[in-house]
Structure 1
Amino acid sequence: MPAAAWPADIPPLLRRIYAARGANHADAARPRLAGLLPPDGMLDLDRATGLLADALAHGRRILVVGDFDADGATACALAVRGLRMLGAGDVMHAVPNRMVHGYGLSPALVAELAPLRPDLLVTVDHGIACHAGIDAAKALGWQVLVTDHHLPGERLPAADAIVNPNRVGDGFAGKSLAGVGVMFYVLLALRARLRAEGRLEGKGPDLGQLLDLVAVGTVADLAPLDANNRALVAAGLRRLRARQGCAGLMALVEVAGRRAESLVAADIGFAIGPRLNAAGRLEDMALGIECLLCDDPARARELAQRLDAINRERRDVQQSMLDEAEQALSAQMLEAFGRGGEGMASICAFDAGWHPGVVGLVASKLKERLHRPVVAFAPSEPGSASLRGSARSIPGFHVRDALAAIDARHPGLIERFGGHAMAAGLSLDASRLEAFEAAFHAHAGSVLDAATLQATLDSDGALAPHEFDRVHAEALRDGGPWGQGFPEPLFDGEFDVAGWRVVGERHLRLDLRADGVQARLAAIHFGAWRGDPPPGRARLAYRLVPDDYRGGDAIQLVVEHLEAC
């Protein structure tokens, strides 16, 4: 499309960045809800809406069972709110406790929920691997509808309907939906069915009111931001920026110290999502779901403050575990990894004192530090012989497929597993940890080569001197949503380091000079302080952002990587 077709508010810099991500015109760069993929081809969608419509028509009890991460929590709140909007009078919800029930719909959770006597149980963001739990629910005479997005195994559970775009043979093109996105599509289809049957007034309720939840769950779960997900997330962000989000999310924005008017996807990923996730990691996600379902601003603020306190505790636990994990890795191993292409191709870490709710974050941090697939383990509960592991991967290594290959090669070694290309979870007996570690290292070594094990940063090139200004910083901020699969713009260049200081014990505040730029540039490099001063001239990979703290025309560079020239 010629340049004239671009709106005037999209500067040439942003057009270049969009083109590098495969979006060569405005509609592709900024997809709208009007262009959402239709649900055509989703397997079992008619059966799913039939179950729900029948439950609504006969006043049957619906029990929504969520999961203990941000995607599962937002999907649960969305399902409850959406079903009530569509006329359900008896909707309840529940969520497993990580420490008590483990992942998903387990027989133990079903037994605990039995006194609720639901007619229809709906799973959100899980269920595709919950064979035993679904069998237990069916044995009690309950109907079961599974909505999920995780990759299915060779055998599907015996549910009455399974809506999952990643099922083999599913014709829906949007394979990147998060769990909350799948449930949103089910609600859209249910509304269409009720409308066609004449059971709604006019067009029915505006389900767009739920897009704030869709945005938070999608970004927090690191779902790839293809065009369909970008349309959903952008619409949800618009609601949050206009302060039209649910009371719980607006309270979380407030306690996180973010400005609603300039909220971006990164604020969800680094501020809102972690506060929701913290409840499921250290306590009970029921608290997070209560916050998302709360309509009283004062009560929502109280709940958000509790989640914020739990998140601070989570950060302390995580840092302690990370320090222990890094100390456990020998200096020689770290040195080999630093050179790249040497040493083992993967890492397995375990400590009997670690918290199972935080091992995923530790695995993620180690993966970032070492650029290796990492599996971190902790006892499922203190003193238990059962271990829970979280895996995080690097591009070129599909970690869920790796676990499947190990399971096929060593039957019975892994008790259960599931996940995606970049993240997965598993459980195994402590006596088998050494055998698993050997199998994981062997598989990684056979798949990964030296080039894949070398960390790289993809840059959008250099900024021109005139582009270091507030206009371009705001255009980049507002040009998203940026995220997984549609990365936030990253630039590189050489700078003179005119000054520096340590802030917050771990971060570097830099004062930079750039060729052709008259004003000095403020920069922050998070977590960079290792005891050595930065070089006098450095090559940086950085993001350009508005500096809202200083206000006015202020900008700053957020440094992702620094090396001496």
Structure 2
Amino acid sequence: MEWKKKDLTLPPSPLVPDYERDLLDPFLFKGMDKAVERILTALTNKEKIIIFGDYDADGVPATALLASFFNQIGFTFYDIFIPDRHLESYGLSLERVKEFAADDVKLIITVDCGITDIAEVDLANKQGIDVIITDHHLPPAVRPAAEVIINAKQADDRYPFKELCGSGVAFKLVQALITRGNFNLPKGWEKWLLDLVAVATISDMVPLTGENRVLTHFGLIVLRKTKRVGLKALLAALKLNPRFVTEDDIGFMVGPRINSASRMGHASEAYNLLMTEDVETAATIAKNLDTKNTARKGAVENILKAVEGLVGTKEPLPVLVVGQNDFSPGILGLVASRLVEKYRRPAFVWGKTEFGEIKGSGRSDGSVNLVELMRAAGDNLFSDLGGHVMAAGFTLLPGKEGELNDKLNAVYNQVKQATMSSVIFYDRELTLDGCTEATWRVIEQWAPFGVGNTKPVFLFNKLKVFQVKMFGNGGIHLELTFKTNQSKNICAIGFFYTKDLKVTAGETIDLLATMEKSYFRGIPELRLRIVDLKKA
């Protein structure tokens, strides 16, 4: 990879978000007026409502967010439903709609799902159930005939910001309901929901720009003083000091634990964590999720080892497609992400469910919109598909797993958006002596960092390596230690280090890295996060 200095780095504007100034009017969403009117009618008439959520670290907080609002206003005529990731398809199902009808449900509100559920919404309509879809995934050409669809990605929607996650959309719905409803809530009560929005926004890896940056900025403030017993328990289980929780802590520690509930069991466990008010229950669930996450890591590594053998036998095509019947579909998104990191091309991985369905996940390297790629591959390949530009899920029609590789690669060149650059850009040069608290205070003004608002990358020239250590299960992470001119130690961490370049103590290297502040074991420490390195 070639390294080049950026021509210009511009900060977000304005640098410090303002809640009142920067949050957009929720009624700019197409259909928001109608959605609010329908929900207020249901609340007044005490109609049975189902909150139907997705099972990931966006859908579960979104479900908890809307349920928390109903609880706060004293509305009890609702239930929530989150599908079993291993046994059911993504989104609504015909069977569940029939069950809801039998249970006299009058309104379904989806969160973080529903935009592709055409047949399911048609059935709900026939059964006398209204459906309000709140979603952020890419809409199909033909949309469900729902009562209302709240999704900024609709071509005819005028909401200015298109990148809210599912929890972000759910928050805008609550914001609108509070504006129009007479709930006698304390002014600004909705801000207490922002801890959930921050967790979801960071975990779902939507761009931390525009309104997402505002929601996450204030969401982190709320999270640091959260009233949620479950989030407090999870932070305690992870040995994270709530006062110093960062977006990295959510992305690398909190989010994966919430996701582990559905990946290694059922998402209801994560939902219960976010909703419980019992300290002992919260502590037990938090410990269970941490244990599940450890098991998840082992399962991912086992599949990756198997995949390495499969990839070695394949011709290097533009899209990497692998699968085996014994791969657990619940963790294949993580496997696909790791494959993209290593092979620098889009990756699709599939496995078989207990009921014989072939389900899988795809991750993009940025060169192609995954949903467009799958749609271009043909209607006679997938029974279900959906997702984002960069991440998607799918279910194959019976017996089609043998065609997936050929069909995706056949249409790749038709829909690819760009050739991936072999250049890594950095912002400026820095010395180890420049890694100071003063420098960090300047950097953190740009936080929260994430997709679309990345940390500044620094070039460190001719660093002498003092110590090299591999750590983590199986030695998959790299830690380099350097000495400043004042003989202070500065560490550089590379998680999931996959480069073939081996580094030894005493060598001199050039390093691209970001700066971060770690509070591991409660000890504040400035350190570097490796972006790339090479021999000097």
Task: Give me the TM-score of the superposition, normalised by structure 1.
Answer: 0.87
Amino acid at match of 1:345: P
TM-superposed deviation, 1:356 = 0.6
Structure 1 match to 2:148 = 161
The aligned residue for residue 15 of structure 2 is: 29
Give the Cα separation in 1 of the matches to 2:187 and 2:523: 44
Using the alignment, how far apart are the partners of 1:70 and 1:544 within structure 2?
26
Distance 2:61 2:524 in 1: 36
For residue 144 of structure 1, report the CA deviation from its aligned partner: 1.3
- Which residue matches 1:231? 214
- Summarize the alignment of residues 118-517 of structure 1 with structure 2, pairs less than 5 Å apart: 118-194=105-181, 199-201=182-184, 206-241=189-224, 243-330=225-312, 343-381=316-354, 384=356, 386-407=357-378, 411-446=379-414, 452-464=419-431, 466-473=433-440, 475-477=442-444, 479-494=446-461, 495-504=463-472, 505-513=475-483
CA RMSD of aligned residues (A): 2.5
> Are the aligned partners of 2:56 and 2:258 in contact in 1 as well (CA < 8 Å)?
yes
Q: CA deviation at 1:553?
A: 7.2
- Is the CA contact (8 Å cut-off) linking 1:76 and 1:93 kept in structure 2? yes
Q: In the TM superposition, what is the alpha-carbon distance from 1:454 to its structure 2 partner?
A: 4.8
Counterparts in 2 of 1:177 and 1:553: CA distance versus 1, 3 Å: closer
Mark the CA change 1:538 to 1:288 in structure 2 (over 3 Å): closer, same or farther. Answer: same
Once the two structures are TM-superposed, the CA of residue 466 in structure 1 deviates from its matched residue by 4.6
Deviation at 1:320, TM superposition (A): 0.5
CA distance in 2, matches of 1:84, 1:548: 35
Q: Which residue of 2 aligns with 1:95?
A: 82
Shift in Å at residue 84 of structure 1? 2.7
CA shift at 1:283, angstroms?
1.1
Using the TM superposition, give the Cα deviation of residue 360 of structure 1 relative to its aligned residue in structure 2, in angstroms: 0.8
Q: What is the distance in 2 between the residues matched to 1:544 and 1:371? A: 24
Q: Is the 8 A contact 2:112 2:167 kept in 1?
A: yes
Matching of residue 525 in structure 1 with residue 494 in structure 2 = yes
Which residue does the alignment assign to 2:58?
71
Give 1:296 deviation, angstroms.
1.9
Deviations 1:200-229 (A, max 9, x none): 337667111100011111111111111211
Helix, strand or coil at the partner of 1:134: helix
How many angstroms does 1:256 deviate by?
2.1
Return closer, same or farther for 1:447/1:114 CA change in 2, 3 Å cut-off: closer
- Is contact 1:86–1:191 with CA below 8 Å preserved after alignment? no
Q: Distance in 2 between matches of 1:547 and 1:149?
A: 32
Q: CA deviation at 1:506?
A: 2.7
Instruction: Pick closer, same or farther for the CA change 1:331–1:353 going to 2, 3 Å.
Output: closer
- Say whether the 8 Å CA contact 2:239–2:521 is kept in structure 1: no
Q: 1:332 to 1:134 in 2, by over 3 A?
A: closer
The match for 1:12 is none
Q: Which residues of structure 1 form unaligned runs of 5+? A: 1-15, 334-342
Secondary structure at the counterpart of residue 99 of structure 1: coil
In structure 1, distance between residues paired with 2:516 and 2:420: 30
| Aligned match of 2:533 | 562
Tell whether the 8 Å contact from 1:62 to 1:118 is kept in structure 2 after alignment: yes
1:110 and 1:133 in contact (8 A); partners too: yes
2: distance between equivalents of 1:560 and 1:245?
A: 36
Give the distance between the partners of 2:197 and 2:442, measured in 1 at CA. Answer: 24
Q: Indicate how the Cα distance of structure 1 residues 500 and 283 shifts in structure 2: closer, same or farther if over 3 A, else same.
A: same
1:313 to partner: Cα distance: 1.1
Output the CA distance in 1 between the equivalents of 2:408 and 2:328: 22
The superposition leaves residues 233-274 of structure 1 with CA deviations (integer Å, 9 ceiling, x where unpaired) of 111100112x22411122222222222111111111111111
State the Cα distance separating 1:362 from its structure 2 match: 0.5
Structure 1 pair 550–107 and aligned structure 2 pair: CA distance change class (3 A): closer
- Alignment partner of 2:58: what SS? helix
| AA of the residue aligned to 2:368 | F
Q: Match for residue 37 of structure 2?
A: 50
CA shift at 1:473, angstroms?
3.1
**Distance (whole Å) between structure 1 residues aligned to residue 313 and residue 85 of structure 2:** 34
- Identify the range of structure 1 (350-359 vs 299-308) with the bigger mean alpha-carbon deviation: 299-308
Q: How far is 1:332 from its partner?
A: 8.7
Per the TM alignment, residue 160 of structure 1 is displaced from its structure 2 partner at its CA by 1.1
Residue 81 of structure 1 pairs with residue 68 of structure 2: yes
Alpha-carbon spacing, 1:293–1:442, altered in 2? closer, same or farther (3 Å): same
The question of whether the paired residues in 1 share the 8 Å contact of 2:369 and 2:415 is answered with: no
- Any idea what SS the aligned residue of 1:101 has? coil
SS in 1 for 2:426: coil
AA partner of residue 125 (structure 2) = K
Q: 1 CA distance for matches of 2:26 and 2:426?
A: 36
In 2, the alpha carbon distance for the partners of 1:111 and 1:40 equals: 32
Residue 358 of structure 1 aligns to a residue whose secondary structure is helix
Aligned to 1:49, what secondary structure does the other structure show? helix
Return closer, same or farther for 1:116/1:306 CA change in 2, 3 Å cut-off. farther
Question: Whose RCO is larger (CA < 8 A, sep 6+)?
Answer: 2
Q: Secondary structure at the match of 2:340?
A: helix
Distance 1:106 1:533 in 2: 52
Residue 330 of structure 1 aligns with an amino acid whose one-letter code is: G
SS at match of 2:400: helix
- From 20, 26, 29, the equivalent of 1:39 is 26
- 2:436 maps to a residue whose letter is D
Q: CA deviation at 1:281?
A: 1.5
Q: Are the aligned partners of 2:15 and 2:445 in contact in 1 as well (CA < 8 Å)?
A: no
Shift of 1:73: 0.2
Q: Is the 8 A contact 2:460 2:512 kept in 1?
A: yes
How far the C-alpha of 1:456 sits from its partner, in A, is 4.0
Tell me which moved more, 548-557 or 139-148. Answer: 548-557
Q: Secondary structure at the match of 2:408?
A: helix
- Aligned identity (percent) is 29
- SS of residue matched to 1:128: coil
Q: Structure 2: which amino acid aligns with 1:32?
A: D
Residues 1:542 and 2:513 aligned together: yes
Contact 1:248/1:304 (CA < 8 Å) preserved in 2? yes
